[in-house]
């Protein structure tokens, strides 16, 4: 078990480093607007493109985790991601930057191959703990990426962020190739038939539909906040730059610590209760942000509560999904994460649109509406009855 736990933490570190590729851009959006002489709304398309690419990569590539040997697949994807990150660093125009960001997201789906792998190694008794550990690394990568990119960009320019990230992908590829055990595929058949089973799983498994819809709403609210935070900080009296925007990622790590605790709680309790509580926490977070978000202290409090809600709900949803079909974990993860990140891309778009018209109150209204919709979805009688039978 000690060896397995060390593998979980290796997976967690790798997941965090790779998923960061999609979030380096968020504190840098004002820098992109200045560099390419464009509006904040147009610069925001970089963030949307990265998340849309990630959602498509989840749909196209992650199902292959049930069919192909995972180590080779991970190595190939990470090398492609490295090349795409280098293309971002070389971007001569905003259109090039948007396209390269889309390709980076498309290739940066390694964390969603690692999560079902960890669940498979752990077995049913410690599945929640294993998923929670990898999810802790993943969320830390999302949050700390903003701090790293903001600080590096402040001192060395935003292109340096992406050169370093490109090198990091090659290092992670080498580490995973050496350390991960060989995973035997669980599916035999052509790619087209494999993809066809996604629709079958979505149609026949109501639990997957429930968790995916809830996760999409929560991640949309989360993305609306983070896609506009840098603009809000620059508009405040202090006119804070990318470095301060990035430092808020460190604040969010406090909430990320909930992932390991949530995973252990899920192993002992009904995970539906954790998901329900997480949606209530989202509503509380945006209530704090709309009331106190014009001060640094209010933003700090809101970020901690927001990340607590996101991570606890995500880990609980993942643990619920991994109990559906143990021989289809990658495909189930594909459905869940594709729908979740489609929600994230939509949330980023809604947040940027709301900012362009109503500024910060508009962004918070979007977040509150999405959080309340997530609560309302779980309150539907049929969903509640089905969840209690888990």
At residue 2, the pLDDT reads: 41
At residue 3, the pLDDT reads: 45
User: Hunting for tokens 């989840």 — which residue is that?
Assistant: 58
Domain with 376, as residue range(s), is 2-179+187-388
At residue 385, the pLDDT reads: 52
Q: Which two tokens stand for residue 282?
A: 């989202």
Q: What's the number of CA atoms in the CB half-sphere (13 Å) around residue 235?
A: 13
**Residue 169 CA: distances (Å) to CA of 49, 161, 227, 251:** 20, 13, 24, 25
- How many distinct structural domains can be found in the chain? 1
At residue 377, the pLDDT reads: 86
Residue 327, classed as helix, strand or coil, is: helix
At residue 386, the pLDDT reads: 52
Q: Tell me the C-alpha distance between 49 and 250, whole Å.
A: 24
The answer for residues whose C-beta is within 8 angstroms of residue 294's C-beta and 6 or more apart is: 236, 360
Q: Judge whether 171 and 155 are in contact, CB under 8 Å.
A: no
- pLDDT profile of the chain (390 residues), mean per 10: 66 92 89 89 88 87 83 91 96 95 94 79 67 79 83 91 96 89 77 88 88 94 90 84 75 67 62 83 93 89 88 82 74 87 88 92 94 86 51
The answer for residues whose C-beta is within 8 angstroms of residue 170's C-beta and 6 or more apart is: 78, 79, 82
* H-assigned helices in the chain: 2-19, 29-35, 40-43, 45-61, 70-89, 94-107, 110-122, 127-156, 158-179, 191-204, 206-235, 242-256, 258-268, 271-292, 296-322, 329-379, 381-388
CATH number of domain containing 357: 1.20.1250.20
């Amino acid at each position: 078990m000690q060896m397995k736990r060390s593998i979980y933490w290796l997976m967690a570190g790798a997941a965090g480093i790779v998923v960061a590729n999609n979030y380096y851009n968020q504190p840098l959006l004002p820098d992109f607007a200045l560099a390419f002489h464009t509006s904040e709304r147009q610069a925001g398309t970089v963030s949307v493109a990265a998340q849309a690419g990630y959602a498509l990569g989840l749909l196209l590539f992650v199902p292959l985790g049930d069919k192909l040997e995972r180590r080779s697949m991970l190595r190939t994807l990470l090398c492609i991601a490295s090349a795409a990150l280098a293309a971002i660093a070389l971007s001569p125009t905003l259109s090039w930057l948007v396209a390269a960001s889309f390709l980076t997201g498309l290739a940066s789906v390694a964390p969603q191959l690692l999560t079902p792998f960890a669940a498979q190694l752990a077995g049913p008794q410690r599945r929640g703990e294993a998923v929670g550990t990898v999810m802790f690394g993943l969320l830390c990568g999302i949050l700390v990426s903003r701090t790293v990119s903001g600080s590096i960009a402040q001192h060395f320019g935003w292109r340096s962020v992406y050169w370093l990230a490109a090198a990091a992908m090659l290092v992670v590829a080498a580490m995973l190739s050496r350390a991960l055990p060989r995973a035997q595929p669980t599916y035999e058949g052509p790619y087209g038939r494999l993809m066809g089973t996604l629709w079958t799983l979505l149609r026949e498994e109501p639990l997957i539909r429930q968790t995916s819809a809830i996760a999409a709403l929560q991640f949309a609210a989360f993305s609306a906040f983070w896609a506009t935070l840098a603009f809000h900080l620059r508009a405040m009296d202090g006119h804070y730059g990318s470095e301060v925007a990035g430092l808020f990622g460190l604040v969010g790590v406090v909430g990320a610590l909930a992932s390991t605790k949530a995973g252990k709680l899920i192993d002992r309790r009904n995970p539906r209760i954790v998901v329900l509580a997480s949606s209530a926490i989202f509503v509380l977070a945006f209530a704090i942000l709309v009331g106190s978000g014009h001060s640094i202290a209010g933003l700090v409090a809101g970020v901690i509560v927001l990340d607590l809600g996101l991570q606890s709900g995500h880990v609980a949803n993942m643990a619920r999904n991994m109990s559906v079909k143990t021989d289809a974990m990658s495909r189930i993860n594909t459905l869940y994460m594709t729908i979740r990140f489609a929600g994230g891309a939509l949330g980023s778009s809604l947040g940027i649109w709301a900012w362009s018209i109503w500024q910060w109150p508009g962004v918070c209204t979007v977040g509150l509406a999405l959080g309340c919709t997530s609560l309302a979805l779980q309150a539907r009688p049929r969903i509640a009855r089905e969840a209690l039978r888990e």
